[in-house]
Each structure stands twice: as C-alpha cells, then as structure tokens.
Chains A and B, each alone.
Chain A
Amino acid sequence: MRAYLAYLSKRLVQFAVVVFVGINITYLVTHMTPINPVEQSISAATTYGATSPEAIEMMRQSLRQLYGLEGTPWEQYVAFWKRVLVGDFGPSLSAFPTPVSQLILRALPWTVGLLLVSTLLTWILGNLLGGLAGYYRNSRILKAFGVLSMGIHPIPYYVVAFVLLIIFGFLWPVLPISGGATMASDRSNTFAFALDVVVHSILPVLSLMAVGIGGWFMGMRALVSNIVTEDYVVYAELAGVKRGKILRSYVMRNALGPQVTGLALQLGAIFNGAIITEQVFGYPGVGSLLISAVHAGDYSLVLGITTVSIVAVSATVLLIDLLYPLIDPRVEAR
C-alpha cells in the first residue's frame, strides 16, 4: 500500500507539472504578438450590432484580465492565473453575454462521448486483433487486416474524415454527415433521441477509429511476438497449458501494460484528431467550438477551450496512470 501511495504522489506531482507548464505555454503564446487582441476582439464583436457601453466595458475588463494587460507583468500573470484557476474566462465575445464556461460545458459532453466511445473501441479492437495477429502469425485474414489498418494509419485525421465525408455525403448518402443529432428533434423521447445521437456519431467515430486502429494493431502485434518468446510463455506451452489460456493469461496480460501506457501517451494526439473530425462533420463538440471561435475572433473562448483541453487531457492521463498498477503489479517495486 505504501508503495502505491508513493506512486500516486509521484503521478500527482507530474500532473501538476504538466498542467502548470501547459498553461504557462498558453500564456506565453498569447503574449507573442505586439498587437493588442483585446481592442481587436472588441471592435470585431461590436461591429455587428449595438452593444451597451456597460457590456463593452465588462468585455474589455475581463479580456484585459485574461490577456493580462492590467498592472505590472507580475500582476498580469497573477490575474491570469486567478481567473484560470476558478475557470472564469469571462463572457464569450461571439455569443455575448454567455459566459465561456457555459459554452464549453454545453459542448463538452459531445466531445467526451465521442472520444470515450471511439478511443475505447479503437484501443480494445486494435489490441485484440493485434494480439491475435502476433500469436497466430499465419492467419491470412489478420495479415490482410493488418495491411489495411496500417495503410490508413499514417494518413492524418483530416484527410480520412474528409474522404469519409465525400463517400457518405455524395457517393452513398446513407449516414448523416453533420450535427450531433437531428435539428429540432424531439429530445423528450430519450430512447429515440439516444438512437439519433448514435446514428449521427457513426461517421465521426468511424473516422477516428480508422486512423487509430492501425497504431494499436502494430504495437500489440510486435509486443505479442516478443512476449511469445519469453521464458514464462515457452514454459507454459511446455507444460501443455491450453492455447487459449496462454493467449489470455500469459500473453495478453503482459502486453496490456505497455499498451495502457501507450494510451496515456497518445491521448493528446487523439484529442487533436477529435477536434478536426468534429469540424469536418459539424459535430457540436469542443473542437467545432474552437474552430468557429477562431473564425469569429472570440479570444476568451479560444483561450478557455485551450486551457480546459490541457487540464482535461492531463487529468485523463493521470487517471490512466493511476489505474496502471492494477494491470502490472511489478510497478510498485520500481
């Protein structure tokens, strides 16, 4: 138990470091330009209609604090952090006066749902098939699948999403290509609504899976090929333990550890892919929100999403790290 607590505290420290450095990078980036984004944003937002002077002042106030224009550089930095820690990014400029946090919260479930489903499916399926491919080296089906998945894997998310969009949008329009659910649908009937959501998520999920699965497949296959030559597997085979049991308890169990670590490492990249995939399919998650915020010049929203992304991804990685000892009992001894 003591070993686990030591491990836990190490991971928590790493989490804090990651979030701290990440948000600092964000802060640094925002200060790279000589132009003043505050005035720019305000003028962009106010050209579209009459906004009351109090509203403009409130915007300006929060933007100045977020950007860090008030006071000395140190005070700016502190003011920035104060706001970030509370999660108060002020009002969104493009959807004034809705606070940024509210917009993010509205979009977040969509992204989380998409990511959760596609990541889990990809990871499980990829590892399963890769493990089988590593063990049953002569299976032609597995070899074919390997070639296919590894062929798609290097292609960036955007291209795959776009190709799927073309196929299902123009050539064979059987699946919806935009939106999280049908517009103006009746959300009271939960089952019908849930089904609608699922149907709308098929293409984005498929897109993410197509790119991701090759990576897990390849990694797992290589891992399993190596593990199969390890003494404890050879010994179990010598003892006549059934193939199925060896595959499950001896081979896969030992290969899972590195793959879980791999998942933690890939999460940032998967998130990036989700952003662009949402954009292509008009999926109402945090990704689409980010892109439209950039187009609208909504500084506070962009900053808010960036910060939340950093924290969310780091927190998920922390969670995965904490679950790791359950899979590999040796980690306590390290």
Chain B
Amino acid sequence: MSTLRILRDLLRYNGEFAVGLMLVLIVLAVAGCSFFSPYPPMDVYVVPPDVPPSWEYPLGTTSRGQDVFWQLTFAIRNTLLFGIVVAALSRVISLLVGLISGYKGGWVDRILMSINDTFVVVPLFPILVLFYFIMRDEMTWAMLAIITALLGWAYDARLIRSIAMSLRTREFTRQAVFSGMSTGKIVFQEHLPFVLPIVFSTTMNNINWSIGIEVTLSVLGFTDINTPTIGGMIYWANQHTAMVSGIWWWITFPILLVIMLFIGLFLLAISMNEYIDPRSRLSRLGGQA
C-alpha cells in the first residue's frame, strides 16, 4: 500500500491519528511563527512587563519584559529541535543495536541485550544531573543532546530487535537468503517496510521523552537558561514567582502548548501501533479478531 493511501485511511478511520496530527501541526505552526518574530529571542525588556493578555499582546508579557507569544514561538522551536535531534541520534543507535542483535542472535545478541538492559534499568536522571553538575556552565545544548541520545536508545532497541527476530524466521526471508540476496539488501529492501512503522512510533515516544527531560532539567535551572525553551520559560517564571504574583499567563501558555505537543505525539504513536497490529485494526471495523 502506498504511503499516501495509508495516511488517508488513517485519517479517515482513526480518530486518534487525526487529532494527534492536528495537535502536532498546531504546535509546528506556532514554532514556525518564530521566524517572523519582531523581537530577538534573548532580548529582555523590549515590551512593558507584566501585561495580561490583551489585544496588543495576545498572550500577555512576562516579568522580564518579553512578549509571551513570541517568546513561546522560540521556546517551542528550540525545545522541539532538541527533541528531534535526540530522537534522530538515538534512532541510529537503536536501529544498529536492535537489528544486529535481532539478526545475529547467539552470543552477540546476549551481550548486546545485557548492555541494553543496563541502560533500561539504570535510572538516567541522576546521571544527567551528575553530568550537569560536572559540566556546569560548560554544558552546551549539543552536549546535552548527545549524552541524552547516548542514554535513551535502549528501550526502543529492544522493540526493534523483536521485530528483527520475527522477520528473520519468516518464510520470505528464507527465500531471499536462499536466492542469494546479500544481507544488506535483505535488510533494506525486504525488511525495512516492516521496521519503519515501529521506528515511527518509537520516534514519537522518544521525542516526548527527551522533551520531558529538557523541560525537567531546564525547570531546575540545569541547562543553558538564556536560550528560550519551554522549560526555561517555566524556570524564569518561577524565579519571578509568577504564580504568586498573579502573572498566570507566563506559565500557563507554555504548559498548555507543551501538553498539546505531548498528547499529539503520543496519539500519533499509538495510532501507528494500532495500525500495525492487524487484530486491533480488525476490531475497529466491527469484527472480532
């Protein structure tokens, strides 16, 4: 089935996919607005501070004299960028580990899975905190992205591995091997279409996870606070005791937007998962598998 047809079917019959896509598109649109911002992102006191949402400033202004809306566009753009970069990097590792482990089997598989499980079990947050502690001001976004990717591949690698394992034993694989197809060709031509959907849904989940890490770390002040990010906005709002002062718009809008993003990506991920599993697809059509 062509990709376009799959998308059309998903949109029509899968409410979750439609809602998820809509939410993500809204967030992307907001991020896109950042390119039209009249104010540079890091500048402060460019507008009168603490103005509630009004016609002139639709989402209000912060205590630091920034327009909440324009600040938000940059914040979500940076946060999203971080999430996407981490997800991309960790896909590479997940795919490598998962596919090699799934295909080779034997002791290679066992060793890789042992390491994999280590990364799954070990609580990553304290390690990230430790990392920040050591690096302090030397820590750049790039470094944080790299180390988060290095820590966050494990869960997805396992999923990819199980798909690889089931593909390895299937009839058409045996046929391909028998007919002399090289392993590389088999993986890319025959198997990739099966692996891609799971990669897609794990990417969505991974983006959620890494953005969650970013928000949490930034809120604690453990990242480069001067770059506007969602977590950063909340951090500054807390520093200026926004809630207590009644400047609710400074916190509420970033939180709302990021919740939209989380739920949107999540819905995309689970609707893709459901689509892959033929039984759940069948039960949607009024039958019982």
Contacts and interface: CB of A to CB of B under 8 A. Distances in A.
Given A229-B279, A306-B130, A22 B122 contact: yes
B38 interface: no
Contact of B124 (A268, A294, A303, A317): A268
Interface stretch (A96-104, A238-246, A272-280): A272-280
A77 interface: no
B131 A32 contact: yes
B216 to A, nearest CB: 5
B134 A33 contact: yes
Interface residues of A, number: 56
Interface string A158-173: 1100110010011000
B115 interface: yes
Contact of B255 (A163, A275, A302): A163
A21 B115 contact: yes
B123 A271 contact: yes
B263 interface: yes
Contacts of A229: 279, 288-289
B138 interface: yes
A299 B120 CA distance: 25
Nearest to B231: A158
B54 to A, nearest CB: 23
Most buried by A among B121, B215, B251, B279: B121
A170 B243 contact: yes
Given A154-B263, A156-B215, A268-B121, A225 B132 contact: no
B220 A25 contact: no
B208 interface: yes
Contacts of B258: 159
B131 A313 contact: no
Given A218-B270, A225-B280, A306 B127 contact: yes
Contact of B155 (A22, A157, A265, A271): A265
Interface of B: 114-115, 117-118, 120-127, 129-136, 138, 155, 208, 211-212, 215-216, 219-220, 222, 234, 243, 251, 255, 258-259, 262-263, 265-266, 270, 279-280, 283, 288-289
Across chains A and B, which 8 residue pairs bring their CB atoms closest together, nearest first?
A: A156-B212, A154-B266, A272-B125, A22-B122, A154-B262, A306-B126, A268-B123, A21-B118
Given A18-B118, A33-B136, 4 more contacts: A17-B118, A25-B127, A155-B263, A229-B289
Interface of A: 14, 17-18, 21-22, 25-26, 29-30, 32-33, 35, 37, 150-151, 153-159, 162-163, 166, 169-170, 218, 222, 225-226, 229, 264-265, 267-269, 271-272, 275-276, 279, 290-291, 294, 297, 299, 302-303, 305-306, 309-310, 313-314, 317
14 contacts: A14-B114, A17-B114, A26-B127, A32-B131, A153-B266, A154-B266, A170-B243, A218-B270, A265-B120, A268-B124, A279-B220, A299-B133, A306-B130, A314-B121
